[in-house]
């Protein structure tokens, strides 16, 4: 049993089943000590709610990091998601570069866009900052939209394997050559994930249940991180995270009142079984 200390850096959306409220329970269920650095506090996530509050925590980060350094605290895994500001990306890069143990695994989920569009608070300057985070990551975990914004390639709704390979090669140039690309589907009722390593693509295809469930990217990234830190290979972890995410969506799809996230909690025993 590998019990690791993981730091995850992303926002607290108080309501909405995403970011830290998803990462913390999932990483705990995977059997890891989970430390958090909240990037911002929001009343809800920003996809579908209007009038949400947003409190950026950028200013707090240097003092938190300095205290950890004074205490000699280091992390065996660092996993970043939705961040609070462009300036914060620089602070997070420094944390990735200095706060890991010798063999720490660093996973960056860009978490700034989906379905061809940036999330509300982000802009081109943020995307440019996010590019600078790539060389500090061991594994980059974008969806197709984020991969397009980062690499500068055109976003397409329909594509073939050649386009995906080109996209991954263009992304790898930014400095992280191990990429797990999510939401890759070559036919309407299928989706899947591509694991790209040493220029080679390996594809795990599974059924697509419904389009655009909120928070599934965070569910996927958290389960993937938990599985990798449990010593699974990248492909095994990618598959476990996909099967778990599908189970979460299946848990939720027959409840129209639950539009803002997925019921990931009742599927946690399945994740533990898959591990």
Interstrand relation of 75-80 and 5-15 (parallel, antiparallel or unpaired):
parallel
Task: At 81, list the tokens.
Answer: 């998601």
Least gap, CB of 77 to ligand PXL (angstroms): 19
Output the smallest distance, CB 247 to ligand PXL, in A. Answer: 18
User: Do 10 and 81 meet the contact criterion of CB atoms below 8 Å apart?
Assistant: yes
Greatest CA separation found in the chain?
53
Positions touching ligand PXL (CB under 6 A) are: 11, 13, 18-19, 42, 45-47, 82, 111, 119, 215, 217-218
The pair phi, psi for residue 177, each rounded to 5°, is -95, -5
Strands (E), the chain: 5-15, 33-44, 54-56, 75-80, 100-108, 113-114, 117-118, 139-140, 179-182, 190-197, 200-207
- Which strand (E) or helix (H) includes residue 163? helix 161-172
Of 77 and 217, CB closest to ligand PXL: 217
Which DSSP letter does residue 143 get?
B
Nearer to ligand PXL (CB atom), residue 18 or residue 24 = 18
Residue 18 Cβ, how far from ligand PXL at the closest point, in Å? 4
- Burial-class residue 191 by CB neighbours within 10 Å (0-12, 13-18, 19+): buried
Query: Shortest distance, CB of residue 48 to ligand PXL, whole angstroms?
Result: 8
Backbone angles phi, psi at 57, to 5 degrees: -105, 20
Nearer to ligand PXL, 119 or 235 (CB): 119
Strand ranges (DSSP E) for 141-198? 179-182, 190-197
CB of 91 to ligand PXL, least distance (A): 18
- Least distance CB 47 / ligand PXL (angstroms): 4
Which residue's CB is nearer to ligand PXL, number 100 or number 226?
A: 226
**Residue with smaller CB distance to ligand PXL, 81 or 100:** 81
Our CB check for ligand PXL shows the closer of 18 and 179 to be 18
What lies within 8 Å, CB to CB, of 1 at 6+ separation is 31
Name the minimum Å distance from CB 133 to ligand PXL: 16
Residue with smaller CB distance to ligand PXL, 42 or 238:
42
């Amino acid at each position: 049993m590998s019990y690791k200390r993981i730091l995850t850096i992303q926002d607290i959306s108080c309501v909405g089943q995403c970011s830290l409220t998803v990462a913390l329970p999932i990483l705990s269920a995977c059997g890891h000590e989970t430390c958090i650095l909240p990037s911002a506090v929001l009343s809800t996530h920003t996809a579908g709610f209007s009038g949400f509050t947003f409190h950026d925590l950028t200013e707090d980060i240097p003092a938190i990091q300095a205290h950890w350094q004074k205490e000699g605290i280091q992390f065996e895994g660092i996993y970043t998601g939705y961040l609070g500001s462009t300036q914060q990306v620089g602070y997070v890069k420094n944390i990735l570069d200095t706060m890991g143990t010798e063999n720490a695994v660093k996973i960056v989920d860009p978490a700034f866009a989906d379905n061809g569009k940036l999330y509300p608070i982000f802009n081109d300057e943020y995307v440019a900052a996010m590019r600078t985070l790539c060389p500090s990551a061991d594994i980059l975990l974008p969806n197709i939209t984020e991969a397009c914004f980062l690499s500068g390639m055109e976003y397409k709704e329909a594509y073939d394997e050649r386009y995906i390979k080109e996209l991954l090669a263009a992304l790898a140039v930014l400095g992280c050559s191990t990429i797990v690309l999510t939401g890759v589907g070559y036919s309407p009722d299928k989706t899947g994930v591509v694991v790209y390593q040493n220029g080679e693509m390996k594809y795990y295809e599974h059924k697509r249940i419904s389009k655009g469930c909120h928070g599934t990217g965070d569910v996927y990234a958290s389960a993937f991180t938990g599985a990798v830190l449990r010593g699974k290979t990248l492909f095994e972890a990618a598959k476990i995270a996909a099967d778990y995410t599908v189970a979460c969506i299946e848990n939720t799809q027959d409840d129209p009142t639950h539009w803002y996230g997925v019921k990931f909690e009742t599927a946690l025993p399945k994740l533990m079984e898959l591990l």
